[in-house]
Amino acid sequence: MTTNAPVLTIDGPSGSGKGTISRRVAQRLGWHYLDSGALYRAVGVAAGWADLDLDDHGALVRCTFDTRIGFRDDAAGELRVLVNDVDATDELRTETAGAAASAIAAIPEIRAALKDRQRAFRQPPGLVADGRDMGTVIFPDAPFKVFMTASADERAQRRYKQLNDKGVSVTLDGLLREILARDARDAQRAVAPLRPADDAVHIDTTGLSIEDVVEQVLALVPREG
């Protein structure tokens, strides 16, 4: 059952920082958090485990209905994602899983199948939801909406640092190409393309620290006391 609990939506392209900012803002507000991209990534990973062809839309739609997706915080406060009860968090965060998710996310029946699962996260005292269509399609009545961007170069550099820190070997050029390809696919698809809601506040995070962005977003949500 969904409620009228307040929702803060944060949409934007890959690497703009929406996941990092959303998690911190949700913690500060004491609200729930929805990482909607993780749902698409989870379906992509489950499809990979089942050896499904990304062109076989019927099989992918069945896989979406059959895949159990769960979220939990670990002892360090990091969000872990369970796919069919297996912790698939690390596999989910790879560029391969991101690209598969982006391809799968263009299939209208899959977007429809995930709608109610996303809306079920709207629970008191509130929800911070990040993705591509949170403010336009999933929670169009959300009282607080942000469209978060950063230059493609900065997004590639952030991803480069993130992957390097994890010991993953990548090139900056390769990451920039992947980011631009994913931007184009997410923004050009026919259903629920990446675009700002008309009533979204735009925040360009290029050159801003994470703390600065968190404060800018928190300033949009009036709080008691």
Ligand X SMILES: Nc1ccn([C@H]2C[C@H](O)[C@@H](COP(=O)(O)O)O2)c(=O)n1
CA distances in angstroms from 215 to 33, 93, 101, listed in the order given: 17, 26, 30
- Point out which span in 8-16, 51-59, 75-83, 217-225 binds ligand ATP (CB under 6 A): 8-16
- Note whether 84 binds ligand ATP by CB under 6 A: no
- Note whether 184 binds ligand ATP by CB under 6 A: no
Of residues 163-192, those binding ligand X (CB under 6 A): 182, 186
Q: Which residues are annotated as a binding site for ATP?
A: 12-20
Q: How far apart are CA 141 and CA 218, in angstroms?
A: 19
Q: Beta partners for 8?
A: 128, 144
- Note whether 151 binds ligand ATP by CB under 6 A: no
Q: How far apart are CA 2 and CA 147, in angstroms?
A: 24
CA distances in angstroms from 81 to 38, 63, 118, 224, listed in the order given: 8, 17, 15, 33
Q: Beta partners for 128?
A: 8, 33
Q: In the complex, which residue's CB is closest to ligand X?
A: 37
Contact residues for ligand X, defined by CB under 6 A = 14, 36-37, 40-41, 98, 101-102, 105, 131-133, 182, 186
Contact residues for ligand ATP, defined by CB under 6 A = 12, 14-20, 37, 98, 158, 162, 205, 208-210, 213
